[in-house]
Chain A
Amino acid sequence: MTDTYDVIHSVLTTTFKIPEDLISPDRTLEQLEMDSLALAEFALILQERLEVRVEEEHATRATTLAQVTEHLDTLRARSVTAP
């Protein structure tokens, strides 16, 4: 269990001012009204917080928060085990 989802949750509430009750793992970014500009900023903030770079196709408007979390967890695991 990582803190990835918690970080995503906190970025969505603090930076993007999304009401907490709208956020759940099965929501897509589109359902949270994240447009392309928002997604690009979202990716940059996650990169700074988690030190891994989200690939664009893993954070589209159709992606759910659970899927973003999973993708980031994979990247994070890889970066820890990498030599």
Chain B
Amino acid sequence: MTPRAPVAITGLGLITPGGEGTAATWEAVCAGTGTAAPDPALTGLPVDFSCRVPLTDDELDRRVGRRSWRMGRPAKLAVLAAREAVRDAGHRPADWDGARVATLLGCGIGCVDKWEEQARRLDGRGPEFVSPLAIPLALPNLGAGEVAIDLGARGVSLAPATACASGATALALARDLLAADVCDVAVAGGVEAGISRLSTTGFWRMGALSGRTAEPAGASRPFAADRDGFVMAEGAGVLVLERVADAAARGRPPRALLAGCGATTDAHHPTAPSPDGREAEAALRTALAEAGLDPHDVDHVNAHGTSTALNDAVEAELVSRVLPHRPSVTAAKGVLGHALGAAGGIEAALTVLTLEHRRVPPIANLTAPAPEFDLDCVVKAPRRQDVRAAVSHSLGFGGHNVVLALTRP
């Protein structure tokens, strides 16, 4: 496989349980303390905690502005993260050719809490009491739709749904659409605010969630021997991508390069990862080949690391098999929980920050990886490391494997 042209990442926007904005999120992730806490929306359920963006709906509405009344929480988070990313990239929506701007925001499940509320209204009070907003609130593509409206972005837009890989899928698609000259700027990443009583109970019934109700902040512990599941989270991670020559022409040095993307499918089981990890490995190898990197060039892995027994075992085995030179490994879900469809976007942005700051954040709640994992996990404190090439893994229910290779410009 011949290497492909990288694309420039010129802007980052984050709104996560670590805080509002990229700086606040980076600081929280570097501090390495879990953000999970009891969640009033989940009171009385077997798993009653989650990682929430620390802003109320009122606070979000004030920031979003007049159109917030018709938006679910995912759309609000998407709009705020996208505005930050576009500002950071030095673009002004008033000036750009909106027809050449793509909006690609992955979303796993949509605004299910509002959907459930409307179902209760239908059952309890009748059809007349169902809000006319039931559908627009719940549609998973309306994060992309509202962002496009907010930015005047009239090029192609879509919300890829590859469950927990959705954000990474959006970034890989953005790279392809830029390469194919379908757009000049791509606003891409992931958004999710799908913490509801039913979604949380559903994940719990699958055995996917941590049950550490007595110690929520310590519940998400990727690669730990005593990990027992992931923690529900919400957030948005949006990046601005453009062709390297276009970024150079307007005098914007890239913050990092998206140098390669690999996407494969297990074709094995709806929710369990293929135990041999061969398709995830193929995604990793494709991303490296596209980036013109050999496995030993990879300095750092931003792991999917969900803190579930199965994911972390398959992923640890994959990293130690394909990257046996022990690159540093971090997993942001220890701090931020698992923001499902947003995770790939958030973690790609964090990987950019690691490349820029030469700093690898620690995995929260981990003193050492489980003894059977041959991984160099960064624990307790951030590690200073001259990272030139890194990979970010995203693996989703449905057997979706997406690996992004990012490099320093």
A interface with B by C-beta (< 8 Å): 15-18, 33, 37-38, 40-41, 44, 47-48, 53
Contacts and interface: CB of A to CB of B under 8 A. Distances in A.
Interface string B66-84: 1011100000000000000
A41 B70 CA distance: 9
A48 B132 CA distance: 14
Interface of B: 61, 65-66, 68-70, 128-129, 131-133, 136
Given A41-B70, A41-B132, 7 more contacts: A16-B66, A17-B65, A17-B66, A18-B66, A37-B132, A41-B69, A41-B131
A42 B66 CA distance: 15
Contacts of A17: 61, 65-66, 68-69
Contacts of A41: 69-70, 131-133
A44 B128 CA distance: 8
Nearest to A53: B128
B66 A40 contact: no
Contacts, number: 28
**Which of A17, A33, A38, A48 has the largest count of B CB atoms less than 10 A from its CB?**
A17
A39 to B, nearest CB: 9
Contacts of A53: 128
Contacts of A48: 129
A62 B133 CA distance: 22
7 contacts: A17-B66, A17-B69, A18-B66, A41-B131, A44-B129, A44-B132, A53-B128
A38 B131 contact: no
Contacts of B65: 17
Contacts of B70: 37-38, 41
Contacts of B132: 37, 40-41, 44
A16 B67 CA distance: 8
A75 to B, nearest CB: 15
A9 to B, nearest CB: 15
A40 B131 CA distance: 8
Nearest to B62: A17
Nearest to A44: B131
A17 B65 CA distance: 7
